[in-house]
Amino acid sequence: MPELSDATRGRILYGGDHNPEQWPEETWYEDVRLMKEAGVNSVTLGVFSWSRLEPRPGERDFGWLDRLMDLMHAHGVGVVLATPTASPPPWLGRLHPDTLPRDEDGRTESWGGRQHFSHSSAVYRRHAAEITEALATRYAGHPALILWHLNNEYCTYDHGDEAAARFRDWLRVRYGTLDALNTAWGTAFWSQTYGDWEEILPARRTHYLKNPAQVLDFRRFTSDMLLECFTAERDIVRRHTPHIPVTTNFMPLFFGQDGWRWAEEEDVVSVDLYPDPRDPLAAQRGALVQDLTRSQARGPWALMEQATGAVTFRDVNHPKPRGLTRLWSLQAVARGADAVCYFQWRQSRQGAEKFHSAMLGHAGPEGRGFQEVKRLGADLATIGPETAGRPVRADIAVLHDWHAWWASAHQARSSARIDHADILTAWHRALWEAHLTTDFAHPAHDLTAYRMVVVPQLHALDDTAVDNLLGYVAQGGTLVCGFRTGVTDQDDRVRPGAMDARLRALFGIRTLHEWWPLEEGESAHCEGFDGTLWSEEIEPDGTAAETVPYRGGELDGLPALLRKGTAWYFSTLPAPGALRGLLTRIAAGAGVRPVLAGLPAEVEAVRRGDLLFLLHHGRDPVTVEVPGSHRDLLTGVLVTDRVTLGRHGAAVLAP
Instruction: Please list every residue from 53 through 92 that binds a copy of itself, using CB under 8 A.
Output: 55-56, 84, 87-91
Looking at beta carbons only, is 349 or 628 nearer to a copy of itself?
349
* Distances 640 to 82, 265, 282, 411, 655 between C-alpha atoms, Å: 46, 45, 31, 57, 11
Q: Which of residues 453-472 bind a copy of itself (CB under 8 A)?
A: none
Binding part of the chain for a copy of itself, among 31-39, 141-149, 222-230, 313-321 by CB under 8 A, reads 313-321
Cβ neighbours, 10 Å, residue 650: 24
* Nearest residue to 224 via CA among 265, 183, 184: 265
Burial of 291 (0-12, 13-18, 19+ CB in 10 A): buried
Separation CA 548–CA 578 (nearest Å): 13
Using CB under 8 A as the binding rule, whether residue 316 contacts a copy of itself is answered as yes
Residues 362-391 contacting a copy of itself, CB under 8 A: 362-364, 366-369
Interface residue with a copy of itself, options 67, 126, 239, 354 (CB under 8 A): 354
Among 173, 412, 597, 638, binds a copy of itself (CB under 8 A): 412
- 32 CB-near residues (< 8 Å, 6+ apart): 71, 72, 74, 75, 77
Rg of the chain, C-alpha, whole Å = 26
Question: Contact between 347 and a copy of itself (CB under 8 A)?
Answer: yes
Minimum CB separation of residue 86 from a copy of itself in Å reads 8
C-beta of 135 vs 583, nearer to a copy of itself: 135
Q: How far is the CB of 233 from a copy of itself (least distance, A)?
A: 16
Applying CB under 8 A, among 1, 33, 76, 110 the residue interacting with a copy of itself is: 110
Q: How far is the CB of 280 from a copy of itself (least distance, A)?
A: 13
Q: Could you confirm whether 54 is annotated as catalytic?
A: no
**Nearer to a copy of itself by C-beta: 5 or 193?**
193
The answer to whether residue 107 forms part of the interface with a copy of itself (CB under 8 A) is yes
By beta-carbon proximity to a copy of itself, the closer residue of 389 and 482 is 482
Candidates 187, 231, 382, 523: give the one binding a copy of itself (CB under 8 A): 187
Give, as ranges, the residues between 537 and 576 that touch a copy of itself (CB under 8 A). Answer: 537, 554
Residues ≥6 apart with Cβ < 8 Å to 130: 58
Beta carbon nearer to a copy of itself, 108 or 623: 108
Residue 620 in contact with a copy of itself, rule: CB under 8 A: no
Verify binding: residue 490, a copy of itself, rule CB under 8 A.
Answer: no
Q: In angstroms, give the least distance from the CB of 34 to a copy of itself.
A: 15
The helix (H) or strand (E) run that includes residue 455 is strand 452-455
| DSSP-based three-state secondary structure for 445 | coil
Q: Say how far apart CA 308 and CA 511 lie, in whole Å.
A: 52
C-alpha distance from residue 622 to each of 604, 614, 639, 649 (Å): 12, 11, 15, 9
Distance in Å, CB of 473 to a copy of itself, minimum: 24
Looking at residues 4 to 23 of the shown chain, list those that interact with a copy of itself (rule: CB under 8 A).
19, 21-22
- Shortest Å, Cβ 383 to a copy of itself: 27
| Residue of 16, 299, 319, 508 that binds a copy of itself (CB under 8 A) | 319
- Total interface residues for a copy of itself by CB under 8 A: 116
Contact 219, 404 (CB under 8 A): no
**Helix (H/G/I), strand (E/B), else coil: 519:** coil
- Burial grade of 470 (CB within 10 A; 0-12, 13-18, 19 or more): middle
Stretch 502-541 residues interacting with a copy of itself (CB under 8 A): 510-519, 537
Catalytic residue (one of 109, 162, 233, 305) = 305
- Complex with a copy of itself: residue 106 or 143, whichever CB lies closer: 106
Which helix (H) or strand (E) segment holds residue 7: the answer is: helix 4-8
Q: 542-567 burial by CB neighbour count: b if 16+ within 10 A, else e?
A: eebeebbebeeeebeebbbbbbbbbb
Cα–Cα distance measured from residue 404 to residue 459, given in angstroms and rounded to the nearest whole number: 5
In 3D, which of 601, 610, 248, 573 has the Cα closest to residue 425? 573
Exposed, middle or buried, 477 (CB in 10 Å: 0-12/13-18/19+)?
buried
Out of 54, 153, 233, 604, the active site residue is: 153
Is 361 or 477 the residue whose CB approaches a copy of itself more closely? 361
> What part of residues 582-611 is at the interface with a copy of itself (CB under 8 A)?
none
Determine contact, residues 456/574, Cβ cutoff 8 Å: no
Specify whether the CB–CB gap between 322 and 277 falls below 8 A.
Answer: no
33 scored as a contact of a copy of itself (CB under 8 A): no
Q: Which residue, 356 or 608, is less far from a copy of itself as judged by CB?
A: 356
Q: Which stretch binds a copy of itself (CB under 8 A): 32-40, 268-276, 315-323, 420-428?
A: 315-323
Near a copy of itself by CB under 8 A, which window of 166-174, 342-350, 373-381, 627-635?
342-350
Burial of 250 (0-12, 13-18, 19+ CB in 10 A): buried
Site for a copy of itself in 112-171 (CB under 8 A): 112-116, 156
Residue 234's nearest CA partner among 271, 260, 265 is 265
Considering only residues 351, 391, 552, 627, which one is a binding residue for a copy of itself as defined by CB under 8 A? 351
Stretch binding a copy of itself (CB under 8 A), from 104-112, 329-337, 425-433, 592-600: 104-112
Is 153 catalytic? The answer is yes
Interface residue with a copy of itself, options 41, 49, 425, 572 (CB under 8 A) = 49
- Of 74, 352, 474, 545, the residue at the interface with a copy of itself (CB under 8 A) is 352
Closest to 310 measured CA to CA, from 223, 368, 260: 368
Pick one of 32, 82, 200, 650: the residue that binds a copy of itself (CB under 8 A): 200
- Binding to a copy of itself by residue 496, rule CB under 8 A? yes
Query: Given its phi and psi angles, is residue 542 left (phi above 0), alpha (psi -120 to 50 degrees) or beta?
Result: left
Hey, which residues does 482 pair with through a beta bridge? 570
Omega cis (within 30) before 490: no
Which residues participate in catalysis according to the annotation? Answer: 153, 305
